[in-house]
């Protein structure tokens, strides 16, 4: 099993994320040089080096699903307007919009998750784990694992790619970055579902009317 020192060294040498480094070492028998080659072959190392460059161009892509019942808008950024007009780049933006329609993420990346949402979910998982009668030491590890799984549910970049669940959306974007040669970033998205929230508003309105009438 790879040590934290090996993971740190690999991150410093490639700029790849911790999870990618850990996976690369696992695939390479904990050999750092082989792990670097593995990351390069996957296009992750070169993509990480480009991630600090400004990505101020791009496209807003739309996707409509289920006969107009679900609509998604995605903003995908790149470095130049030349790449923004590239069919492969626009195709990636459309596929990400399709993924959002199918998988319903709430946030783009982990850093966008409000601390309040994280703490609320963690409290739920702690209560659930303790109710299962798990020992304290084991319960903490279980909660950590469940919170990681929760991120995979709510964060777009952590989700499994809808066309190939052996990859995450983040890995797909990094591969595109390596292939196209520019920093590519998913900036934001909006997902619309026909009628979503209308029933709740109607129920809230009815409850308020009943309250004012002294019926509730």
CA–CA dist 83, 183 (Å, integer): 10
The boundaries of every CATH 1.10.8.10 domain in the chain are: 1-50
In terms of average pLDDT, the best of 40-49, 165-174, 203-212 is 165-174
Inter-helix orientation angle 115-131/136-154, to 10°: 140
Mean pLDDT value across residues 152-166: 96
In this prediction, residue 211 carries a pLDDT of: 65
Whole-prediction pTM: 0.68
1-50 adopts what CATH topology?
Helicase, Ruva Protein; domain 3 (1.10.8)
75 vs 45, residue with greater confidence: 75
Binning the chain into helix, strand and coil, the percentages to the nearest 5 are 60, 15, 25
Superfamily of chain region 55-113+155-194: Elongation factor Ts, dimerisation domain (3.30.479.20)
- Each residue's pLDDT tens digit, 31-41: 888 988 888 78
């Amino acid at each position: 099993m790879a040590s934290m020192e090996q993971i740190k060294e690999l991150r410093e040498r490639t700029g790849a994320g911790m999870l990618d480094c850990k996976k690369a070492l696992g695939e390479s028998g904990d050999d750092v040089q082989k792990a670097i080659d593995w990351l390069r072959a996957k296009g992750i190392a070169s993509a990480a080096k480009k991630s600090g460059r400004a990505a101020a161009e791009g496209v807003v892509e739309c996707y409509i699903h289920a006969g107009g019942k679900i609509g998604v808008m995605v903003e995908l950024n790149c470095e130049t307007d030349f790449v923004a007009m590239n069919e492969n780049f626009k195709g990636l933006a459309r596929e990400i919009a399709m993924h959002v329609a199918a998988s319903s993420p709430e946030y783009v990346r982990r850093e966008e998750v409000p601390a309040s949402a994280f703490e609320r979910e963690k409290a739920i998982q702690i209560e659930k784990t303790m109710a299962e009668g798990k020992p304290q030491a084991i319960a903490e590890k279980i909660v950590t694992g469940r919170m990681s799984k929760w991120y995979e549910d709510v964060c777009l970049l952590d989700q499994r790619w809808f066309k190939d669940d052996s990859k995450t959306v983040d890995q797909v974007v990094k591969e595109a970055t390596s292939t196209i040669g520019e920093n590519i970033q998913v900036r934001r998205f909006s997902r619309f579902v026909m009628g979503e929230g209308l029933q709740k508003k109607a129920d809230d309105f009815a409850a308020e009317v009943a309250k004012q009438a002294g019926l509730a």
